[in-house]
Amino acid sequence: MFGKTRRRTAKAVRTAFEVLIAHPDGLHPHTILQYVKEKWPERDWGSLEHEQVWGDLLYGSIAPQKASWMFHKEGRWAVTEAGREAFHRYTDPLRFLDEAGRLSFKGWFAAKFPGPIATIARARYQMLVELRLIHRVGVAQLARDMFGITTPWQKALPVQQLRRFQISGVQVKTLHELLAYLRSRGAKYMAGGHTVYLPPDSWSRTAFAAIQKYYPSTAGLKIIKNPGGVNDSNYVHTSHQGISKLHKKITYSHRHLSLVSNTLYAHGIGPRLYDLVELQLGDQTWTANVFEHVEGRTPTHAETEAGLERIREMEAQRIIRVTIPDGYNDEDFLPPDCNKNAIVGRDGKWRYVDHQNFLLVDYGNYLKKVALESADDSHYGDRSVLRGNRYLYQSVPGVAVPGKRNAEKRMETLTRMMERAGVTVKDRLVLDVGCNVGMMMAQYLKQGAMWCHGWDHENVTPQAEKLLYAIGCTRFSVTGGNILQHPRPEDDLPQFLHSHLNGCAISYLAVHNWIGWVEMIGRLPWSFMIFEGHENDTDEHNQKSFDILRKMTRFEVAEYGQAQDGDSESRAIAILIRK
């Protein structure tokens, strides 16, 4: 038994030396493991195989370390000059390991009796990794995440409902089958530690092209390596889960990772996340993220140092925290390319393209700050003397600050009316005229809208973007400016949305007294409109408004009534169905 294990260990160690000689500055052990796996593509890398080779590297490195052929520094392994000479002198893996063992008793014992040493080495390495993680994250934060202590924002966010797609003609149950399918289609992909990424042109070569129409043409598809849906799979791939048990435990769910992505993007660090989706490939569900594709170059050392400093500033502000046990000493955060996670796009901006190694720290206060900053630019109508400045126009999910309008209660009434009218925003493009800070768009996305586009004043729409990102919305876009001065507002829509205009829904809430009916409504092939009047408007006034609209397009009033929410007075609401 030991003979077979020794041969496997010797091969793993010598392959690791080959990798390290090509990386003279050294690598972290788990990164070395990934390189070893790439050099042994013939193996079926299941979890058992992965654990075996991981153990081989840990205890197999003892003899070369005692022989001064390699050394550890800040969690990284590196080869000495003596180790380089030994690698070229002893080409047989077993001879290489035995010669290393001759130079110390501990090294000899590890080389000859790998079983007992393997157990000790794994336990020692695991303990050191976990201690570094505790030091980096902090005991309090770690305890909250370990024991599932949730805060109001974690319960309420993200608001947006994920989309599920049935991909026809593809039956894929395992990662091996997924990669084989991509190769059969000639689709180039990038396999990272946890995901398989398809750039836009590769995505279009596969059956996944059927859903590409729902996103910008510059979007890439990042498929999670672990099979399973959003609620029953983990972002951290099984091949990495043995490195740090605590890290796996505190890594966010797919849903909360979307908040991390949005936060990094809002601060100019990460690429934009367009969606979190489930892909049904035959009998197996897979989870994927649709990201903005970043095409560019490797950053300079100085560019990455500047980018990492911005991440450190976010840590200092208690917005995020890096969760890798070795922190900024890990390959994933080392200049210039952060283990291929850092890139400078064609726009000249530095981007960090991964998100699983972050926690949100004091996100409740961050969310409240973003919400309150929107108040001055978004408040219309009378203010409340009693509420004062800490008073929002639209209430924000996860924020315990009152608002004049309660979007959730508003949506409950509208949903009942839409159900009676036989219409829904689910899987539909919604155009929100007068979107304010976007909280009704958030409600449409919560109902499963395909995408929302909103128009409002140019000082309001930036606040809408910040708030929508902060509450976990991704499928939206906005246009700022005076919509009455734009002859064709529909031209503001992102190009990919034009094919979804037929059958879209119009949201026209409490704006017609301010702007009337924009001419765009007469041109677009919408299917239904969600209408809301103003406080103190009479039914007669609203009927006259509908008569004006009938001169632009044919429709029927399927539902009409009164509703009240927040601090607002009762007002008319209606569902208009286009004929």
Tokens at 418, concatenated: 């839409």
Q: Is residue 402 part of a domain?
A: yes
- Of 300, 37, 277, 63, which Cα lies nearest the Cα of 179? 37
Last residue of a domain, one of 233, 262, 297: 297
- The per-residue pLDDT for 135 is 62
Q: 111-134 pLDDT, tens per residue?
A: 565 555 555 555 665 665 566 666
Helix (H) or strand (E) holding 366: helix 363-373
* Terminal-to-terminal C-alpha distance of the chain: 78
CB 159 within 8 A of CB 256: no
Claim to verify: residue 447 and residue 544 sit in the same structural domain:
yes
- Residue 142: the pLDDT is 65
Q: Identify the residue with better confidence: 541 or 59.
A: 541
How far from chain centre, in Å, is Cα 17? 35
Between 155 and 505, name the one with better pLDDT: 505
| Cα 25 from Cα 105, distance rounded (Å) | 28
Q: Please report, for residues 279, 372, 374, 404, 461, the alpha-carbon distance to residue 391 in angstroms, rounded to integers and kept in the order given.
A: 41, 8, 10, 8, 19
The DSSP 8-state label assigned to residue 216 in this structure reads: -
Q: How many domains is the chain built from?
A: 3
CA angle 316, 317, 321 (to 5 degrees): 65
Specify whether 88 is located in the same domain as 25.
yes
pLDDT (tens digit per residue) in 495-540: 999 999 999 999 999 999 889 999 999 999 999 999 999 998 999 9
CB environment 52-84: b (16+ within 10 A), e (fewer): ebbbbbbbbbbbbbbbebbeeeebbbbbeeebb
Instruction: State whether 30 and 160 are in the same domain.
Output: no
Which single residue is written with the structure tokens 């409490």? 510
Res 6: pLDDT: 80
* pLDDT for residue 109: 62
Instruction: Say whether both 161 and 268 belong to one domain.
Output: yes
pLDDT of residue 386: 34
Establish if 311 belongs to a structural domain.
no
**The whole model's pTM is what?**
0.83
What's the CA gap between 40 and 14, in Å, rounded?
13
- At residue 104 the predicted structure's pLDDT band, cuts being 50, 70 and 90, is confident
For 17, list phi and psi in degrees, rounded to 5.
-65, -40
- 529-558 average pLDDT score: 95
Report if residue 433 sits inside a domain: yes
Provide the H-helix boundaries in 398-479: 407-421, 439-446, 461-470
Q: What is the DSSP string of 64-111?
A: HHHTTSEEEETTEEEE-HHHHHHHHH--SHHHHHHHHHTT-HHHHHHH
pLDDT tens for 407-456 read 899 999 999 999 999 999 999 999 999 999 999 999 999 999 999 999 99
Cα 508 from chain centroid? 31
Provide mean pLDDT across the span 16-35: 89
State how far the Cα of 505 lies from the Cα of 451, in Å rounded to an integer.
11
Identify any residues that bridge with 280 across adjacent strands, giving them in sequence order: 166, 285
Q: Is the pLDDT of residue 331 over 90?
A: no
CB 471 within 8 A of CB 367: yes
Domain residue limits at 289: 145-297
The answer to whether residues 462 and 470 touch, using CB atoms and an 8 Å cutoff, is no
Instruction: Read off the pLDDT band of 388 (50, 70, 90).
Output: very low
Q: Judge whether residue 62 has pLDDT over 90.
A: no
The answer to whether residues 447 and 495 belong to one domain is: yes
pLDDT at 380: 46
At residue 275, the pLDDT reads 99
Look at residue 304 and tell me if it is in a domain: no
**Mean pLDDT, the chain, as a whole number?**
88
Residue 11 shares a structural domain with residue 94 = yes
Q: Which of 269, 297, 325 is the last residue of a domain?
A: 297
Q: Report the CATH number that the domain containing residue 542 is assigned in CATH.
A: 3.40.50.150
Tokens at 190, concatenated:
């990038």
168, 264: one domain: yes
Whether residues 277 and 154 share a domain: the answer is: yes
Q: Are residues 554 and 445 in the same domain?
A: yes
Q: Which of 251, 281, 297 is the last residue of a domain?
A: 297
Percent of the chain with pLDDT over 70: 86
Residues 129 and 149 in one domain: no
> Is residue 308 included in any domain, yes or no?
no
15, 40 in Cβ contact below 8 A? yes
What is the per-residue DSSP string for 487-550? S-GGGGS-GGGGGG-TT-EEEEES-HHHH---THHHHS--SEEEEE--TT--HHHHHHHHHHHH
